[in-house]
Amino acid sequence: MGPNDIRDSFLDVIQQKTGARRSVAIHPTLADIIAIGPFTSGTYLQNQAGHEASSNGLGNQFWT
């Protein structure tokens, strides 16, 4: 998920498991935080090294 996935105050995502497209409204407070930026990569979710977080790596963060 990154800046290219935002359209008209909605985050457009495609679910990995089902392939279904979803549009999620962005809360105004989150929109303000995103607007502050800057983002140095094409994704909002990064690992500790600053690279795009993988689904496995992100899942591992929840278990540690």
Domain positions in the chain are 1-41
**How do residues 7-29 score in pLDDT, each as one tens digit?**
999 999 888 889 999 999 999 99
Smallest Cα–Cα separation from 48: which of 26, 28, 29, 64?
A: 64
Of the two residues 21 and 55, the one the predictor is more confident about is 21
Q: Is 19 exposed, middle or buried (0-12, 13-18, 19+ CB in 10 A)?
A: exposed
- The residues near 12 (Cβ < 8 Å, ≥ 6 apart) are 5, 6, 21, 22, 23
pLDDT value at residue 64: 61
